[in-house]
Amino acid sequence: MWWSKAALVVGLLALGPVGCGFQPMYAKPDPQNASPVAAELASVRILGIEDRQGQILRNALVNRMSPLGEPGRADYILAVRLTQNQENLAERSDGKASLGRLFISATFTLTENQKEAPVFSGSSRSVVSYRLLGPTYGSTAVERDAEKRALGDLAEDIRSQVATFFANGKRARGNRS
């Protein structure tokens, strides 16, 4: 009976290298070189975004797209515009809000550094709910935390969309939302 188990192990080892052709998007093919998608993400310069939220989003994008720092020579330029809306969902008996929701939307455009026409554009949206606390400081801290979570979600989604664009070999030129 031991020979059947040995034959199974040998068969699995023989089929292992064949695989199905799956290759992770961010995988490094060998230790010396970064993956093509990671290298292209690292060559994107992110333009400044207005306001405090824009600064937070820009820093999150830089950390996610080029963790070793901003590129010295950028092949692409990413421009992002933010819009925000906030609403109160529930009220306490004293008339003050007790539950809030924050909507932050981003539209972005990726252009090649040497060209003015965009090669890819898209949008992303994040919705975060939060519970408002009684004291002013507590409510402010909760709102800032919700804002930070929403901007982190936006950064992750924008990076994923741009990485997918690069992974698809930049076949889908033009607008894409």
The token duo for 111 is 């252009």
Q: Please tell me the pTM assigned to this model.
A: 0.73
Asked if the structure places residue 165 within a domain, the reply is yes
Q: How many CA atoms lie within 13 A of 1 on its CB side?
A: 0
Q: Which residues of the chain have pLDDT under 70?
A: 1-2, 11-34, 89-97, 134-135, 137-138, 170-177
Asked if the structure places residue 128 within a domain, the reply is yes
d(CA 110, CA 166): 11
Please write the tens of the pLDDT for every residue from 28-38.
555 455 578 88
pLDDT at 134: 67
d(CA 109, CA 44): 12
Task: Say if CB 39 and CB 71 are below 8 A apart.
Answer: no
pLDDT at 152: 94
Q: Which domain holds residue 78?
A: 36-140+150-170
CATH number at residue 48: 3.30.160.150
